Structure 1
């Protein structure tokens, strides 16, 4: 067996985070040292509970510690009127029976957790774990990057112990939070900028790549047919995301992306990303119409000397095969 890759997973557990956690835990290629949690579409307490639910579902609640982290972005919400250019329009999705459904349920539809979270704050854990690690660690960020950005502010020397930061975040020429900004980076662009500017190797698995590898109902059926708790949960999350997309008009072909799981898959097998380009990146943090946008510099073409790599396309069938293999056990 190949040597396992030591990783720390940072989540804001909703639907696609659940699939990402399962893929990370059930892969024999990754050694999950710990999971840190940040606020997401639901409050931090819900994200922590959902994370613990997923771990307990596959009997790994005792093996992998979970650390609650930041309940808010670093500074974004401190500036009055900053979100004026991006008003939030709450929309309610409904299933075919007319029942309300949510993209990220406050509580996942699986048994309540019996494992408890750690009492150490996620940022403190990150600083101590990285400083004391005998080897470099890969950090997989699939929520807003507040915990890592804050840890880098607390002790910039921990960057020396980071092998790579793999983000599910950002997009090029498309967005979901705004016309140009992806949700995770939009929620805390300052934190994203701190990490991108640190010089640490960063791999950005954004909306371009994730939407190139969308799943459809037949894919969910294959996962459900495995008959395992993990397979059923991932299948349910795909089905839920498709229903929300159909209700709100996000999807026209009956598919949707498991964004966060693709970031994990890219660490397990980098060849799942079929178009990855070394390009300089920055963040718009100025509060205007482009606030939270990932800025990618295409002017020099692909530049192997830069430390940021942007994913544009993924192999959907390989991605699905990885999920099926992980959830079959």
Structure 2
């Protein structure tokens, strides 16, 4: 009997998405029934191409359906002046040679994809696949949650066949792209709110947890030493993140977080999260200085009736060993 947990990844493939996809596929612990793609780190066509590049690199480009989805947030860009109230940090910098470098390259350093995306739209794929599945499916959105939020709008009954939604997104009392907002949640807060308000179980793997398990150059070097294409890609993407972080002054010691991969790791082994609290959550969608902020209600402590679980800390050693063990499986 196949006991693998059925999952759908929802990605905006840049650097940490790529490592999340490799972890999900190569771990051997998950049944990845499909990957849906949205915009976020880059425009939708780039994110689709990067997703296919990663799958082709692992030799599974023709085995896992990839469905392009929404090219823009649900409604966020429709309000004139909304961005003016909430200026975002930049993720582009210049290296020591003066060359432009980007946290998420337009195209990942992997061979161009030879596999093709599906003709089915991501939202249709989500609705049909979830409704038709004999087992409940876990959704892992590691980019803006537009596709998933839209699918819940299209057919709210899909929540009945969703095991849980495990977000990479949000933060508590800290932000990365705004003072209080994490990028994925800021870029489509309405979509997140729709999912949270649906009552489906949600685990929120945010910046508090991801930055509690940061990587350094020696961690990336260990992956390069594996000696295969997956290890090299992970190494190269991690070094790029370090270089951008140092250039922008985000870090003085080379540390950075593999945000999206931690969400996947928490589905494979929930014990990788060492501090998970059941707390009521909401989203700020009002367009002011807190636009896109995850609002966590701490007033009553943990709430056994809340459908949202917020991660605060992770086990770095276990996390990076999980990635190492998965990358070794790439032939």
Normalising by the residue count of structure 2, what TM-score does the alignment of the two structures yield? 0.97
Say which SS state the counterpart of residue 198 (structure 2) adopts.
Answer: coil
Distance 1:89 1:226, change over 3 A: closer
Q: CA-to-partner distance for each residue in 1:108-157, whole Å, 9 max, x for gaps?
A: 01100000000100001111101111110000010000001000110000
Find the counterpart in structure 2 of residue 312 from structure 1.
312
Map 1:1-329; keep pairs closer than 5 Å.
3-88=3-88, 90=90, 92-329=92-329
Q: Distance in 1 between matches of 2:227 and 2:179?
A: 39
Say which SS state the counterpart of residue 55 (structure 1) adopts.
Answer: helix
Q: Distance in 2 between matches of 1:73 and 1:254?
A: 32
Kept in 2: contact 1:2–1:29 (CA 8 A): no
Report how far residue 304 of structure 1 moved: 2.2
State which drifts further: 230-239 or 111-120. Answer: 230-239
Report how far residue 90 of structure 1 moved: 4.6
Stretches of structure 1 lacking an aligned partner (at least 5 in a row)? none
Q: Distance in 2 between matches of 1:286 and 1:101?
A: 33
Q: CA-to-partner distance for each residue in 1:214-260, whole Å, 9 max, x for gaps?
A: 00000000000001111111111111100000000001221100000
Say which SS state the counterpart of residue 276 (structure 2) adopts.
Answer: strand
Say which SS state the counterpart of residue 144 (structure 2) adopts.
Answer: coil
Q: CA-to-partner distance for each residue in 1:3-22, whole Å, 9 max, x for gaps?
A: 10000000000000000000
Report how far residue 91 of structure 1 moved: 6.3
Distance 1:85 1:118, change over 3 A: same
Distance 1:163 1:227, change over 3 A: same
Kept in 1: contact 2:89–2:177 (CA 8 A): no
Stretches of structure 2 lacking an aligned partner (at least 5 in a row)? none
Counting matched residue pairs gives 329
Report how far residue 290 of structure 1 moved: 0.5
Say which SS state the counterpart of residue 277 (structure 1) adopts.
Answer: strand
Q: Distance in 2 between matches of 1:130 and 1:254?
A: 41
Normalising by the residue count of structure 1, what TM-score does the alignment of the two structures yield? 0.98
Q: Distance in 2 between matches of 1:191 and 1:326?
A: 31
